[in-house]
């Protein structure tokens, strides 16, 4: 088995044009429109059967490398990683555009080094930063670092004229129980990796580079299935035990870029103010708690009717396999629809939302046991789209009006961020905005 590293671009191809070994493990996983269904990579390629007397290292997990520079930022179409950290910052009082640009320059430099598996020594604001050694001996482990700007960032930096309409506040939803202290933020950073220490190393480096320019507003930790954990490539199960993620838009689809990334055609008039976002995307971030004690009391057959898919293999209740399209009009012998009117899969399907779609790319979380004895468990829902008013908002509004899954979830935090395009070599993320 070869353990040579491959440098992987944001389109998932190596520098020689071959599909990366990581890509062979599966496509991007997915979460449902409320953030409750997720897919994962993970297959038999790249690991050997472990023997009790001779453990076998998952060498390919550490050797894969995602590229920092590219048309789009990493961490959007990258296959789901095993570990993740989400962190939001607020700029310090008195901090403006100049200081924000310097921070993005530092962050971009550090992210590039981290993603290449290199130490982070040097380059800090105060000149004292040194590599902590947390990730010594580990390879890049498919690390990605992704940056976004919140609505208030434009006010703090005097760039309100360049704030795109897509950053208008999300409307309230009936399932919202939002904690303002764990929502929104001037800056947002998504970190993902297939090794926990590599991911934590990146988290510490990003936080340290913020120095006195920005302080942490909130931080959340998540996980997914580790690549190589299944005997064959398979969609993951969420923490409700349901196989989900099949309906996510795929990069191979002809309209994928149009749905996920902000178009890059020339802008005129007022739209020229937002040209800096061309090739970028919008991320909706929601912390969605799953009420597992209530969910697990339901018989499996009732759980399946809530979702609209079989629990055993993810196939729609209308029949077929996991990848069989749902037949939303098919009825059983009793004349009732096989996929109920209020089933989550039916209500969130693009067919019932004028084609509205988003790329759902979440992390599960478990933050221990709450004071009432219930598990503080759920999903760090992240969805990507070219326009949240055409992607997330209409689907969530419809789910809000009658999704059978709603009694078993609670939205506890929320954020919306504009994510610039990828940085070219010699540039930093957000340069087109901050130096406009």
The 10s digit of each residue's pLDDT in 206-247 is 999 999 999 999 999 999 998 888 877 778 789 999 887 788
> Confidence class of residue 24 from pLDDT cuts 50, 70 and 90?
very low
pLDDT tens-digit readout, 340-398? 999 999 999 988 888 888 999 999 999 999 999 999 999 999 999 999 999 999 999 99
403 has catalytic annotation? no
What DSSP designation does 145 have? Answer: E
What CA–CA distance (Å, rounded) separates 278 from 2?
39
Q: Is the pLDDT of residue 196 over 50?
A: yes
- Residue 50, both tokens: 């472990």
Q: Is the pLDDT of residue 124 over 70?
A: no
Please provide residue 95's backbone torsions phi and psi, each rounded to the nearest 5 degrees.
-80, 135
Q: Is the pLDDT of residue 158 over 60?
A: yes
Q: Which stretches within 67-169 are classed as H helix?
A: 97-115, 151-156
Q: How many helices (H) and strands (E) does the chain have?
A: 11, 11
User: Quick one: pLDDT at residue 340?
Assistant: 97
HSE-CB at 172 with a 13 A cutoff on CA atoms is: 6
What CA–CA distance (Å, rounded) separates 229 from 232?
9
- Residue 312, both tokens: 């055993």
Q: Is the pLDDT of residue 42 over 80?
A: no
Q: Is the pLDDT of residue 29 over 60?
A: no
> Confidence class of residue 15 from pLDDT cuts 50, 70 and 90?
very low
> Confidence class of residue 167 from pLDDT cuts 50, 70 and 90?
very high
Span 189-212, average pLDDT: 97
Cβ–Cβ under 8 Å, residues 235 and 246 = yes
- Across the chain, what does the average pLDDT equal? 86
Q: 321 — alpha (psi -120 to 50), left (phi > 0) or beta?
A: beta
Catalytic residue among 90, 244, 257, 387: 244
State the residue for tokens 């520098």: 15
User: Beta-strand (E) ranges in 170-280?
Assistant: 187-193, 214-223
Please provide residue 309's backbone torsions phi and psi, each rounded to the nearest 5 degrees.
-140, 155
Cβ–Cβ under 8 Å, residues 409 and 288 = yes
State the residue for tokens 């434009």: 154
The model's pTM is 0.86
**With the CA atoms of 289, 294, 299 and 303 taken in that order, what torsion angle do they form, in degrees rounded to the nearest 10?**
-30
């Amino acid at each position: 088995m070869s353990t040579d590293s491959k440098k992987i671009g944001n389109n998932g191809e190596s520098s020689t044009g071959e599909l990366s070994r990581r890509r062979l493990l599966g496509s991007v996983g997915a979460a449902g429109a409320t953030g409750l269904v997720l897919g994962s990579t993970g297959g038999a390629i790249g690991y050997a059967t472990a023997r009790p007397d001779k453990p076998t290292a998952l060498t390919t997990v550490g050797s894969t490398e995602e590229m920092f520079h590219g048309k789009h930022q990493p961490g959007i179409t990258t296959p789901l990683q095993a570990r993740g950290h989400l962190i939001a910052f607020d700029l310090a009082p008195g901090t403006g555009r100049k200081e924000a640009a310097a921070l993005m320059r530092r962050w971009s430099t550090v992210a590039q080094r981290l993603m290449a598996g290199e130490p982070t020594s040097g380059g800090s604001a105060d000149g004292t930063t040194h590599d902590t050694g947390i990730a010594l001996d580990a390879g890049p482990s498919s690390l990605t670092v992704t940056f976004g700007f919140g609505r208030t960032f434009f006010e703090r930096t005097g760039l309100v004229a360049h704030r795109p309409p897509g950053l208008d506040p999300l409307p309230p939803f009936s399932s919202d129980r939002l904690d303002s202290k764990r929502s929104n933020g001037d800056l947002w950073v998504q970190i993902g990796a297939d090794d926990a220490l590599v991911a934590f190393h990146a988290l510490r480096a990003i936080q340290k580079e913020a120095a006195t320019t920005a302080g942490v507003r909130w931080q959340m930790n998540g996980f997914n299935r580790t690549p190589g954990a299944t005997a064959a490539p398979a969609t993951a199960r969420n923490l409700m035990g349901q196989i989900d993620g099949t309906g996510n838009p795929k990069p191979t689809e002809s309209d994928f870029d149009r749905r996920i990334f902000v178009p890059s055609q020339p802008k005129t008039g007022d739209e020229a103010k937002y040209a800096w976002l061309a090739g970028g995307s919008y991320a909706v971030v929601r912390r969605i708690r799953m009420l597992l004690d209530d969910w697990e009391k339901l018989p499996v057959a009732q759980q399946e009717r809530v979702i609209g898919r079989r629990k055993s293999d993810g196939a729609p209740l209308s029949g077929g396999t996991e990848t069989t399209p749902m037949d939303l009009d098919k009825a059983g012998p009793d004349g009732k629809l096989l996929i109920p009117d209020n089933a989550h899969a039916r209500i969130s399907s693009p067919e019932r939302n004028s084609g509205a779609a988003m790329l759902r790319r979440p992390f599960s979380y478990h933050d221990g046991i709450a004071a009432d004895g219930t598990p503080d468990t759920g999903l760090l829902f992240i969805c990507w789209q070219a326009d949240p008013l055409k992607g997330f908002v209409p689907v969530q509004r419809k789910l809000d009006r009658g999704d059978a899954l709603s009694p078993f979830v609670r939205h506890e935090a929320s954020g919306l961020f504009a994510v610039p395009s990828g940085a070219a070599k010699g540039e930093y993320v957000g340069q087109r905005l901050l130096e406009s």
